[in-house]
Structure formats: C-alpha cells, structure tokens
Chain A
Amino acid sequence: MTDYGPVAVWGVIAVIGLATYGLRLSVIHLFGRIDEVPPRAEQVLRFVPPAVLAALVAPSLVTVAPTLPETVLDEQLLAGLAAGVVAWRTENVFATIGVGMGALWLLRFVVFA
C-alpha cells in the first residue's frame, strides 16, 4: 500500500498522463517537419518493448533462494512457466492469465499445501 498522499498520487497520474500523451502526439503533430523517427532512434525503440516487459516479468517470477531446488521449485516460477507456454502457443492474454492463475492455485492449495 502506498504511503503517498492524494497530491502526490494525482501529481504522478498527471505527469505520466501528459508525458504519454506527448509521446503519442509527437510525430503525428510534427509530421511535415519530421517525417520519420531517425533510424538510429528507431533501432533503440525497437528493443524497448521486449526489454521492458522482460524486466517487469522476470523479478515477479524468479525469487533467488539460497539453494537451487528452492529457487526452481517456486510456485510463481512454475506457474509462470506454464503461462509462458500458453502465451507462446496462443498469444492470448485471457488464456495466459487463466492458465497462470490456475497453475498458481493448484500449486499453492494442492501440490505444495
């Protein structure tokens, strides 16, 4: 739970909102003066989605424990791997969440209970 007050939370929402709108509007607004993103910038931007998403996912699935079996036999990691296979085969958000949560509950309430 956040300890930030309403001013800080609304401030963060406003700043992120304005910045995101600026990114969306950027070239749509400037078209004519800038017709495309410079190739070098585009090279970097291309890697933003995989790098950022992986950096978001990995620490939620992998908790480094003192021993290897403890690290590997983790309910979140195993459920995440099952969901990863579904994401790879189906590219479906709904199926990925369904299988991932189902696997987590199975491990938490049945297998490791």
Chain B
Amino acid sequence: MHEDLRAGVRDSVPILLGIAPFALVAGIAAVDAGLTPAQAVGMSVFVYAGASQLAALELLGENAPLAVVVATAVVINLRMVMYSASIAPHFARYRRRTRALLAYFLTDQAYALSIAEYADDEAGERDRRYYYLGVGTPIWVVWVVGTVLGIALGAGIPDSLGLSFAVPLVFLALLVPAMKDRPTTVAGGVGGAAAVVAAGLPFNLGLLVGAAVGILAGLLTGVVRNR
C-alpha cells in the first residue's frame, strides 16, 4: 500500500466511529420510509451524502411532491460547492478522469481531514490523491456497510422505541458545530424557528422556507456587523 494512502486510512479511523451510527440511521430510515433494501443501498451509493438522504427519505415517507424532495436534497448539498472550490487547487495537476473519481468521494469528513493535512504539508511531500483516497475509501465502506446493517436491523425494531428520533439527533450533532459564530448562530436560530412556523405549509415546503429565511437572517447579521 502507498505510504500516503496508509496515512489517510490511519487518520480516518476516529471519524469512522462517528459515521457508523449515522450510516445505521440512514439504513433504518430508508426501511421506515418504505424503500426496498436495493433502493436503500442504491441511495447510499449513488447519493452518498447522509444529511440529504435522511431529509429525502423523510419527505418520501410523507409523500411530498418529488420536486420538493429533489430541491430539498440539492439545497442541503450546496455546501459541496464550497468544498469543491477549496480542494480544487490541490487536484489541479491530475488528469480529468482522476479528478472525476476524486470528486465522488468528496464528503464533509473527507474534505475536512484532507484540507487540514494539505495545510500542514506546505512542502507538498504528501501525495494529494493518495492521502485523500486513503481517508475517503474507509468512510465510503463504513457508510455502505452501515446502511446495510441498518436495513437488516431496522425491520426488527418495534415502533414504540421511536428509533426514527435518531434522525433529528444526527442533524443536531451536525448543527451545533455549524453554528460557530454570531451570524451562523442567527442563521440556525431563525431558520429553525421559521421551519416550525412553516411546518404546516402545503407540499412540505416548510424546510425550504425555513432554510431560506435562516440564510437571509445570517446574511443580514453579517451586513449589520460589518458596518
């Protein structure tokens, strides 16, 4: 195994502990929403972005219009453009086909670990591609295997345990570190309140409306502060 690939795998291990329960929840939520096992695994492989998968599953389970399901998932994944832009200079030297492969493995965690390693390694001694794939591959394996386990487990758990409550708990664990300064905290607080108020809107538009109001509130806070 290439030395930099091995370094990536080693650095991914602590992250995997956080991904495993998230993946289980994705499998359980897919079964709860009425997806077949093949569709549930297919979603984890083709979409491969947990927060958007859980939101799409919730909306599918409520029979929301398909356009709303897609729009909600895409909005949740817009942050990938930021990661793509931030990591692009490190991948610029590779061939188009290599870059197309690397892009598939771009997740919150693979991005965060890789960009931190690249920043530490100004001399460029680490092979960008091998390190990134070393981080990204174990994350992918745990995500897909965890989904399969969740599908197997999900069918046998009684409804009274309320296991679907694990879904908002996953989002909560991601939300808290995302509110890292005053404008992002305002975006979260206002977005959440707006989503509660908008929860009764037709076509399950509550989430998109709440998110839009939250983003606007964050932007306004930033503007006021910069005066």
Contact = CB atoms under 8 A, between A and B. Distances in A.
A35 to B, nearest CB: 8
B180 to A, nearest CB: 8
B51 A45 contact: no
A66 interface: no
B74 A20 contact: yes
Nearest to B218: A47
Nearest to A19: B74
B interface majority secondary structure: helix
Interface in A1-17: 1-4, 6, 8-17
Interface string B161-174: 11101111111111
B177 interface: yes
B192 to A, nearest CB: 3
B165 A101 contact: yes
A43 to B, nearest CB: 6
B195 to A, nearest CB: 4
B178 A55 contact: no
Interface size class of A (residues with CB under 8 A): 35 or more
Nearest to A60: B168
Given A2-B35, A9-B39, A50-B191, A62 B196 contact: yes
Nearest to A38: B85
Given A50-B184, A51-B210, A28 B178 contact: no
Nearest to B168: A60
Contact of B162 (A21, A41, A54, A104): A104
Interface stretch (B2-10, B65-73, B119-127): B65-73
Interface string A14-36: 11110111011111111110111
B116 interface: no
Contacts of B77: 19-20, 23
B151 interface: no
Contacts of A34: 85
A80 B207 CA distance: 18
Given A23-B80, A50-B184, A87 B175 contact: yes
Interface in B1-52: 17-22, 25, 32-36, 39, 42-43, 46-49, 51-52
Closest 9 A-B residue pairs measured CB to CB?
A51-B214, A55-B210, A58-B192, A17-B46, A54-B192, A47-B218, A60-B168, A55-B195, A51-B191
Given A8-B66, A48-B75, A55-B195, 5 more contacts: A24-B104, A28-B102, A29-B96, A60-B168, A105-B161
8 contacts: A13-B39, A17-B46, A47-B215, A51-B211, A55-B195, A57-B168, A57-B172, A88-B176
Interface of A: 1-4, 6, 8-17, 19-21, 23-32, 34-37, 41-62, 64, 76, 79-80, 83-84, 87-88, 91-94, 96-97, 100-101, 104-105, 108
